[in-house]
Amino acid sequence: MSHPRAFFEQADIRINGDRPWDLQLHDSRLWRHLALYGGVGLGDAYTAGWWDAERVDDLICRLLRTHGHRRPSSIPIKLLGFLQARLCNLQSLSRAFQVGERHYDIGNELYTRMLDPRLVYSCGFWQHEADTLAEAQEHKLDLVCRKLGLRPGMRVLDIGAGWGGFCEYAAREYGVEVVGLTVSREQQRYAEERCRDLPVEILLRDYRTYEGKFDRVASIGMFEHVGLKNYPAYFRMVRRCLKPDGLFLLHTIGAPVSMNTTHSWHARRVFPNGFLPSAAQIAKRLEQRLVVEDLHNFGADYDQTLMAWHRNFSEAWPELHALDPDKYTERFRRMWTFYLLSSAGGFRARYLQLWQWVLSPDGVPGGYRRP
């Protein structure tokens, strides 16, 4: 391949330039790291302090708008991804709790400072006249409830309940009974306390081991942990849990192209075993399982959500570091900065998408109407 420097120059990113999106080089080992490890190497090099940019989000946005999915090639990483896809199920039942232990359980003191007051860790809905992160998340939760047509007395399953934000909102505002599933012990404890006076049950359970019947099912920001090999089992579980006249809302990040595995920095360093599906991969696995009633893309809103999380994280950093200097190190700060800002750049470039699918077991008689 040509020198990795050309990859940046083609996107109008200058090395040691004076514009906010220009890359400031601190260690020339960056070039060899990019040649060997591609995009994974770019993130690792930032974490190590080998390069900086005033606006990492704009730098990543420019790279993706220029190169799209044609990121720096890396034979070792691609070969590893190919072998994993063929030989392993990275999201098997035995590995299901890894993402909870390595990401969601790292400390509620972080998430309570970074997220909105409800601790909703998914894309907000800013298009409904939202001025703050809290408003955008409340609008998103209400959008989900309205799309599902929630009514008092219904039973609702939340697959991937997180810290209980949707469970609490749906139970309190719409009078429904909710069961929430999570693979994070910290999330379970927090959500149980939050919902203690409501008809809400929070279970530490993988979706594959759960049985029940519900009027409605929601999955908000959890599908990214399911993995391509497990989509048939996931959708079978949803159909099994839905009543014949039920509805299912799937809220997930989407990729622009179909891949069998992922070798991205985010899946290796932030969300263990994560996988982003294409629309085609979801649609293919829905065949003969569920009917697509509605598909809504508001991925551009994730840019604004991530930038709000980054502002909160940056403002809270001195307090977090003082709380536990051994955990909240400079390396941790740089890793999370790259995670948040590079993700924002991906959505700003419209390389990444955010979809809400509304699905039914056999089709809504007369047709579904989006509220």
Convert the pLDDT of each residue in 90-117 to its tens digit.
Answer: 444 444 445 445 567 677 999 999 999 9
* pLDDT at residue number 263: 65
Task: Enter the pTM of the model.
Answer: 0.92
Tell me the helices (H) and strands (E) count for the chain, helix number first.
14, 9
Which percentage of the chain shows pLDDT scores above 90?
Answer: 76
* pLDDT at residue number 141: 98
Task: Give how far the C-alpha of residue 228 lies from the chain's centroid of Cα atoms, to the nearest Å.
Answer: 15
CA distance 123 to 299: 8
Least confident of 35-44, 47-56, 201-210: 35-44
Residue range 312-330: average pLDDT? 96
Convert the pLDDT of each residue in 170-180 to its tens digit.
Answer: 999 999 999 99
Question: Average pLDDT, whole number, for the chain?
Answer: 89
pLDDT at 160 over 70: yes
pLDDT at 80 over 80: no
Nearest to 146 by CA among 176, 178, 174: 174
pLDDT at 193 over 80: yes
* Token duo for residue 238: 């949803």
* Token duo for residue 361: 């077991």
Domains of the chain and any CATH numbers: 4-73+303-348 (no CATH), 94-299+352-360 (3.40.50.150)
Which residues face 297 on adjacent strands? Answer: 355
Could you give the count of Cα atoms lying within 13 Å of 271 in the half-sphere of its Cβ? 20
Per-residue three-class SS string for 70-90: CCCCCHHHHHHHHHHHHHCCC
* pLDDT at residue number 69: 59
pLDDT at 315 over 90: yes
